[in-house]
Amino acid sequence: MNDCPCCPPEPTRRGVLWGASALAGTFMLGTHAEAQQRRILPAIPAGPNVQNEWLPLVDFHTHLQKNVQADDLVTYMKDTNVARLVLMPLYYGDSGGSVNDGQGSDEQARDYARKYPDRFVPFVGMQRPDLNDRETYRTSTNVGRRLVKETEEKLASGEFFGMGEFMLRFYPYTNKFGIVATLDRDYPADGWFMRQCADLSARYRAPMVFHAEAEPKVADAARRLFEAHPQAIFVWSHNCGRSSATDIARMFERYPNLYADLGGMGYSGTGVEHYGVYWPKRTEWMHLIVDEFGILTPEMKAVFERFSDRFTLGTDIAHARVYANYRGHIPRWRRILTQLSPQAARNIAFATAERLFRMSTAGHQRFAPLAPVPV
């Protein structure tokens, strides 16, 4: 029964696939178990006459590091009309030739949200040294079991709204700010750890944000994960790992529990310092959403219009020293919004994210009622 216009249809494959999940040896957390309600976020005011360009934004994809102050973030947000930030703690420190400017923590994100509960939406951070290990993703290990237990406790507290960013297929990179990411990560999307977290996602209605460049074998593994966990809530970062418009549309048709963030994809072109925004595209599997002038590609524009309730935007500020440039990341997003219909612009600017923060507790793939936002 699908009694809410916001709700994706109830997956019909659920019974078969949850059985398959049990046979595969994953924990069964119970689709109808009691899950802790998250704290309530107030609605974002946006009157019906607000033009696309000036809509309030929810920045759904940012990271939190030790040397970033809550007061500074709020100043940047006020300056740019960004209503909320999702804070995904970046635990990585600097070692072995890598420079991350990270050392964030879940406790830091939680404390920032306690201070500014309307502004910050903390996720349980998955960029941890403990997860720079293929075995932890592939199979059950002591480290993985401990992380699953700790993650469940945090989700049960009601103070965390999701999990991420899981780093599955990620290329090394350097930038002009001195950031050096040395690891060439290639971890299985359908391995033990992701499946445990998918069960947590289903139980706590917690979106799980993951980074996986959509090389063919990576995309195959992601699809196996979606097939096996139709009640989990997946947000495949960076436009489904920079998949093609055709592949994204096909996946959205098949998986009603799949979403995409556009983290960091508002810019492209020579001279742009950001992971993954090269123009022209760097590999045959990396598709961009805008040209070097910030104009949407026609094929992605059509997908955004058709599936705007699956997309969120995000600046993807990943390192403390880069936050000083936060204000400069916003104009291109606003330019993108001007190229969309009012409905699509509202969804991508803030409404899809707001629905993801309000998923109902376990048992149904549906959205909780959303406070009225004129569209």
Binding site for Zn ion (CB under 5 A): 165, 211, 237, 316
As measured in angstroms, the least distance from the Cβ of 62 to Zn ion is 8
Q: Is residue 203 within 8 Å of residue 171, measured between CB atoms?
A: no
Minimum Å distance from CB 372 to Zn ion? 32
Q: What angle do CA 340, 342, 346 make, to 5 degrees?
A: 95
Task: Closer to Zn ion by CB, 84 or 203: give it.
Answer: 84
Give me the least distance between CB of 90 and Zn ion, in Å please. Answer: 8
Minimal distance, residue 210 CB to Zn ion, in Å: 8
Peptide bond just before 42 cis, omega within 30 deg: no
Here the tokens at position 32 are 């109808």
Residues 89 and 163: their CA atoms lie apart, in Å, by 10
CB of 160 to Zn ion, least distance (A): 17
Q: Which is nearer to Zn ion, 210 or 367 (CB)?
A: 210
In whole angstroms, how close is the CB of 170 to Zn ion at the nearest point? 7
Q: Of 125 and 230, which has the nearer Cβ to Zn ion?
A: 125
What residue is closest to Zn ion based on CB?
Answer: 211
The residue (of 166 and 367) whose beta carbon lies closer to Zn ion is: 166
Helix (H) or strand (E) holding 17: helix 14-23
* Residue 375, both tokens: 């569209």
The sign of the CA dihedral 186, 304, 345, 357 is negative
Contact in structure between 166 and 209 (CB atoms under 8 Å): yes
Residue 238 or 364 having the CB closest to Zn ion = 238
Omega prior to 172 cis, within 30 of 0: no
338: CB partners within 8 A, 6+ apart? 52, 53, 345
Q: Name which of 307, 367, 371, 369 is nearest 10 in CA terms.
A: 367
Q: Is 151 helix (H, G, I), strand (E, B) or coil?
A: helix
86 versus 337: smaller Cβ distance to Zn ion? 86
Considering beta carbons, is residue 87 or 200 the nearer one to Zn ion?
A: 87
**Neighbour count for residue 292 (Cβ, 10 Å):** 15
Handedness of CA 367, 368, 369, 375 (dihedral sign): negative
CA distance 189 to 64: 24
Minimal distance, residue 165 CB to Zn ion, in Å = 5
- CB 123, min distance to Zn ion, A: 11
Separation between Cα atoms, residue 64 and residue 88, nearest integer Å? 6
- State which residue, 238 or 358, has the beta carbon closest to Zn ion: 238
